[in-house]
Amino acid sequence: MKLAIGVDIGGTNASFGFVDRNGKILLKDYLVTTDFPDVKDFVKAMAKRVSELRPPNSELIGTGIGAPNGNYFHGTVENAPNLKWKGIVPLAKLFSEALNIPAVLTNDANAATLGEMFFGGAKGMKDFIFITLGTGLGSGIVANGQLIYGHDGFAGELGHTIIIQHGRQCGCGRKGCLEQYCSATGIVKTYFEILRSEHPDLMKTIDTDKIDARYIFDRALNGDEDAFYAFNYTGELLGFALANSVAHTSPETIFLFGGLSQAGELLFNPTILSFEKNLLHNYKGKVKILPSSLPENDAAILGAASLVWNEIE
Ligand SMILES: [Zn+2]
């Protein structure tokens, strides 16, 4: 039985699993990333766990790694702000040496995009965009059947397209990036802005640390107009940004994944409305916006493993 190892590197945990060609995870486990200040110790520990847990009668064909700031061309993780491993880390090389099988690496959003293509709703599609709405906004673009890496390996950073000139300060150093509005953290900022302007007294007494996207979602379901409007505003900007993206690659479908996309109609309705309104007439009514069909908890491992299958096929 041929299996790929899918590794998802996160700031806190690094989860991994053994995945077959049909997207079945035979076994999964994780290491605590922060336990390993030295990346070499991390890879050594990972290789040990892999050999201990490896399913019997399996042939391991490669390791796929999804990592923040991962560069596909070089197999490196480059200056990832929420990892302890600083600078440029040759993670793919370290993995292939430790496990004696090929290793391929890309950023986590690109990995999830391939996961959707191999194991999710994008099976058989040649042109689609995958958006992950988490703490930030990640994205991957597949055109003509291939994941787009671009000239330097960093293609598909829709989260850092500027949607509002002189807008909110972004972690990338510029202002007005899409992810400052359309993400779990973005919607919280929007909600605070609404409260500040509509209910300045309330804003003084409220425990702002307790407010997250989930809280706003619950409030919106319970008829809180400010929370409802926060979703509307988020969807309006997202639909607008996606309508512009369509002009680049003419996708068949745009998939939304991640915590915020679980808000369902609250997010999808305003997004689709604004999307259709802003689309060029050639595209109107032709591009679907759908929820990802990858399971939330396993998407990262599946995505990373699909990197291996993608290289082979
Ligand atoms: Zn930015």
Dist. CA 76 → ligand 1 center (Å):
21
* pLDDT at residue number 312: 85
Dist. CA 176 → ligand 1 center (Å):
7
User: Based on C-alpha coordinates, what's the Rg of the chain?
Assistant: 20
Dist. CA 178 → ligand 1 center (Å):
7
Q: Which residue has the tokens 């909600």?
A: 191
Return the axis-axis angle of helices 265-278 and 213-221, rounded to nearest 10°.
90
Dist. CA 48 → ligand 1 center (Å):
38
Closest listed residue to residue 242, CA positions, set 233, 231, 253, 227: 253
pLDDT in tens, the chain (313 residues): 999 999 999 989 999 999 999 999 999 999 999 999 999 999 999 999 999 999 999 999 999 999 999 999 999 999 888 889 999 999 999 999 999 999 999 999 999 999 999 999 999 999 999 999 998 999 999 999 999 999 988 899 999 999 999 999 998 899 999 999 999 999 999 999 999 999 888 888 888 889 999 999 999 999 999 999 999 999 999 999 999 999 999 999 999 999 999 999 999 999 999 999 999 999 999 999 999 999 988 999 999 999 999 998 8
Dist. CA 177 → ligand 1 center (Å):
5
* pLDDT at residue number 258: 93
Asked whether 60 and 49 are in contact (CB, 8 A), the reply is: no
Dist. CA 154 → ligand 1 center (Å):
14
* pLDDT at residue number 264: 95
The CA dihedral of 84, 89, 90, 94, to the nearest 10 degrees, is: -30
Dist. CA 190 → ligand 1 center (Å):
17
**Alpha-carbon distance 142 to 307, whole Å?**
13
* pLDDT at residue number 82: 82
- Across 258-302, the runs of DSSP E, i.e. the strands, are 288-291
Could you give phi then psi for residue 72, rounded to 5 degrees? -60, -45
Dist. CA 16 → ligand 1 center (Å):
29
Q: b/e for 238-270, b at 16 or more Cβ within 10 A?
A: bbbbbbbbbeebebebbbbbbbbbbbeebbbeb
Dist. CA 50 → ligand 1 center (Å):
36
Q: Which residue has the tokens 């890496």?
A: 149
* pLDDT at residue number 169: 97
Dist. CA 165 → ligand 1 center (Å):
12
* pLDDT at residue number 278: 98
* pLDDT at residue number 216: 97
Dist. CA 139 → ligand 1 center (Å):
13
* pLDDT at residue number 152: 86
Residues with C-beta atoms within 5 A of ion ligand 1: 160, 170, 172, 177
**Alpha-carbon distance 236 to 234, whole Å?**
5
Dist. CA 309 → ligand 1 center (Å):
31
Dist. CA 295 → ligand 1 center (Å):
28
Closest listed residue to residue 22, CA positions, set 10, 4, 36: 4
The DSSP 8-state label assigned to residue 54 in this structure reads P
Dist. CA 213 → ligand 1 center (Å):
20
Dist. CA 182 → ligand 1 center (Å):
12
Dist. CA 241 → ligand 1 center (Å):
14
* pLDDT at residue number 45: 97
Give the rounded distance of the alpha carbon of 72 from its chain centre: 16
Dist. CA 103 → ligand 1 center (Å):
29
Beta-sheet strand order (sheet of 76-78): 70-71, 76-78, 88-89
pTM summary value: 0.93
Closest listed residue to residue 113, CA positions, set 287, 275, 257: 257
**Alpha-carbon distance 170 to 179, whole Å?**
8
Please calculate the CA angle 171-289-23 and round it to the nearest 5 degrees: 85
